Amino acid sequence: MDTKDKLTVLSFDEMYLCHQIDFDKTKEQVIGPHKTVQVVMARGLVSSWKQPVFYNYDTPMTPEILNDIICNLHDIGFNVISIVNDMGPTNQRLWKNLNVSHNTPNFNHPITGNRIHVFADVPHLLKLCRNNFIDNGFILQHSTNKIFIGLNTKLYRSNAPKSKACSTTFFKICSYCNFICW
């Protein structure tokens, strides 16, 4: 593999498991019950490869585990340049421990000192936006008017009289997204 093919992105997630006990016949041991499994996947940034590099039961991601994975990948020639994860409570704690924020969305590589960029998982962000929209709707600021768009709610302008209808533009947006507007 070329150096650029070894540019690596780590993605990780904690997945919930069913609380069952299993028996491993080859090792002759009982496995479980476990509540969660932490899985870390290494992926190529510019080339199409992926490889699971870590899993452990009932273990939240910590800076020590993450740095250990990054160091092990560095030792075999893979340069981790970013991480991706959801914004669950354990990952928010990890970001805080790594001093990652919206102002500094990165932390230093434990060996090279280069920046490792931190990204929130886009599908998870979209799911959070959807859930927030369903629960609360959105309020958009348009010049001096506040516009509220919600699911199964009315679309209105705060400065307009109640009898005044919504503008055609917003009706198009509403009908396109299958919102119900009165």
Other Cβ atoms closer than 10 A to 83: 26
Same domain flag for 120 and 148: no
pLDDT band at 63 (very low <50, low <70, confident <90, very high): very high
Model confidence pLDDT, tens digit, residues 125-146? 888 888 877 777 777 776 766 6
Same domain flag for 94 and 118: yes
CA-CA-CA-CA torsion for 166, 149, 177, 170, nearest 10 degrees? 30
- What three-state secondary structure class fits 91? helix
161 inside domain: yes
Same domain flag for 105 and 156: no
What value does the mean pLDDT take over residues 104-110?
Answer: 97
Model confidence pLDDT, tens digit, residues 21-60? 888 899 999 988 999 999 999 999 999 999 999 999 999 9
164 inside domain: yes
11 inside domain: yes
What value does the mean pLDDT take over residues 156-170?
Answer: 46
Determine the structural domain holding residue 86 and report its residue range.
4-124
According to the model, what pLDDT value does residue 151 have?
A: 59
131 inside domain: no
Average pLDDT, the chain: 83
Same domain flag for 58 and 141: no
181 inside domain: no
Model confidence pLDDT, tens digit, residues 91-102? 999 999 999 999
* pTM for the model: 0.72
Same domain flag for 107 and 61: yes
156 inside domain: yes
